[in-house]
Amino acid sequence: MKSVKVGLLGLGTIGTGVAKILTRKQEMIERAVGKKIELVKICDRNTSNDRGLGLPEGMLTDNVAEIMDDPEISIVVELIGGTTVARDFVLMALDKGKNVVTANKALIAKCGEELFEKAREKGVTIGFEASVGGGIPVLASIQTSLQANRIESIQAICNGTCNFILSEMESKNAPYADALKEAQRLGFAEANPTLDVDGSDSTQKLAILAQLAFGVKVDWQTIPRVGVDVVDAIDVTFARELGRKIRLLAIAERAEKGLVLKVAPTLVPENSNLAMVTNAFNAIRIVGDSVGPVFYQGWGAGQDPTASAVCSDVIDCALGRTKITFDSLRLWSDEREGVPILDAKEITSRAYIRFNVEDRPGVLAEISAALGKRGVSIAAMLQHPKENMDDKLVTIILMTYEAPAAALQEALDELATIPYIGKPVCLAVRD
């Protein structure tokens, strides 16, 4: 049996997982799919450590040409990360007529249009299941299983670091800083966690989901986003009193005038499926016009789950299944008729607002007036009695009815200029 030969770029955490599966489960995969898939070359800067894989002599190299110039290698797996060297290598592989598999959400979100155009030009494919949701097969489901549906909405918990932090704050009443430190200790968060906690990672994944489900080509940096780094332990406490939990949601949904795209910490009902997603798990809730709501949950990161998704793409590519969907869907092309994207100022939602204000008469009236003159109605208010009567600051929580984001932001900007009110924290609310 002629084998399908694979070259791997990057032997980090995920690369090691992929190499482990392709080398140690080769016979199992061959029995299951009827085709031999053979990892023949791995390129990494460090050739002195094969990560305990026991690789054959000569398989590990630091010369990328050994993969790119080998005519027998038909699939290149890119697991370098980033959008510079990775982009160059992916374009090189495509230009040489090789199919590409990647887990690089930043690369797909930023360079998707360029890469997919090159792949179509060369008659090859790009598999990217592992770029969203780790081991959860959500992209394959959108591209195949849900094709008979008009997708109405997607709500995704797609960053395991953020979900772990919020879960830690809930279960242990931990401050944000302590929860982040624990996430770093356990390896769920990077030493520099900015791209996770500020919402960037989730927003890149949302841009990919929006292309697949709604056909929109969007610069992920233009999508409104708020990260979990604004959430305080007191917000978790008040959310609990309101019968809710806080989750970082990436949302894409059809509205009357266009597609709503946003990423924000969101108060969801405590008995909802999304609220039940804890630890470093991911979950994606998709609503189709025929199928209704479907829910996917699983590990959203980590060596084995992500490597599983990468290898699934490799197998699909080897069997020719990727080629069928790649050619038919025309992803990141002008042939797809995308849904108009709603301007961020036109997005409406309910809101949770926390004010830390000086304890003086008339403060609540000023807050209500600033909101009221812009048509933002207050649905509920919460306030805890001061434990120490000498404290000068008190915390006030307001829940609003549905209101335009622009009107709400105007009111909050005005209130933030008042010295005895201070800058408010605003989170989204969904039922």
Residue 191 neighbours by CB under 8 Å, 6+ apart: 184
Q: Which helix (H) or strand (E) holds 301?
A: none
Residue 303 neighbours by CB under 8 Å, 6+ apart: 13, 14, 16, 17
- Joined tokens for residue 67: 């993969």
Per-residue pLDDT, averaged over 43-60, amounts to 94
Does pLDDT of 1 surpass 90?
no
Distance of CA 112 to the CA centre of its chain: 16
The string of DSSP letters for 258-283 reads SEEEEEEEEEEETTSTTTT--TTEEE
Query: Sign (positive/negative) of CA torsion 237, 232, 209, 346?
Result: positive
Cα distance between the two ends of the chain: 55
Query: What is the model's pLDDT at position 387?
Result: 64
Q: What pTM was estimated for this model as a whole?
A: 0.94
pLDDT tens for residues 241-294? 999 999 999 999 999 999 999 999 999 999 999 999 999 999 999 999 999 999
Per-residue pLDDT, averaged over 100-115, amounts to 97
Question: Which amino acid, residue 58?
Answer: G
Does pLDDT of 335 surpass 90?
no
Q: Name the residue among 147, 149, 106, 159 with its Cα closest to residue 128.
A: 106
pLDDT tens for residues 369-378? 999 999 999 9
Burial of 404 (0-12, 13-18, 19+ CB in 10 A): middle
pLDDT tens for residues 268-283? 999 999 999 999 999 9
Active site (catalytic) residues? 205
